[in-house]
C-alpha cells in the first residue's frame, strides 16, 4: 500500500469514527483519536498507529487503526503519553 493511500484511508477512518460518535453523543465538543507507536526498549519500532493493547501475563496483543494485529511476549516498561510512545522489554 502506498503511503498516500495509507494516509487517505487513515483520514477517512478517523473522519467516519468522528461522524458516528457525534451522531450518537449530542453534547460532545472535541473528539480526539489517540494512536501510539510501540517500540522495544532499544528504540526498534514494533508497530505504529496502535489503538488497542491487550495484556495477558507476558503476552501482549497489539491492534492498529487499520485492524492489523501482532502478538508478542514482553513487559511494558514505559508509556509516554506526551510522545505517544509505548516501550516494551522483549527480552
Decide: helix, strand or coil at residue 39: strand
Under 8 Å CB-to-CB from 73, ≥6 apart: which residues? 58, 59, 60, 90
Query: What does the alpha-carbon distance between residue 40 and residue 91 come to, in Å, rounded to a whole number?
Result: 9
Mean pLDDT per 10-residue segment, the chain (91 residues): 73 71 55 80 94 90 92 93 91 83
Task: Check: CB of residue 60 under 8 Å from CB of residue 40.
Answer: no
Under 8 Å CB-to-CB from 25, ≥6 apart: which residues? none
Name the nearest CA neighbour of 84 among 58, 45, 31, 57. Answer: 45
Alpha helix segments (H runs only) across the chain: 3-24
- Quick one: pLDDT at residue 89? 94
The pTM for the full model equals 0.64
Amino acid at each position: 500500500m502506498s503511503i498516500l493511500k495509507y494516509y487517505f484511508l487513515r483520514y477517512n477512518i478517523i473522519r467516519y469514527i468522528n461522524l458516528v460518535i457525534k451522531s450518537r453523543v449530542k453534547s460532545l465538543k472535541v473528539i480526539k483519536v489517540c494512536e501510539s507507536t510501540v517500540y522495544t526498549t532499544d528504540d526498534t519500532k514494533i508497530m505504529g498507529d496502535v489503538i488497542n493493547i491487550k495484556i495477558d501475563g507476558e503476552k501482549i496483543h497489539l491492534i492498529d487503526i487499520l485492524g492489523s494485529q501482532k502478538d508478542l511476549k514482553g513487559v511494558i516498561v514505559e508509556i509516554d503519553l506526551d510522545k505517544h510512545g509505548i516501550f516494551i522489554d522483549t527480552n
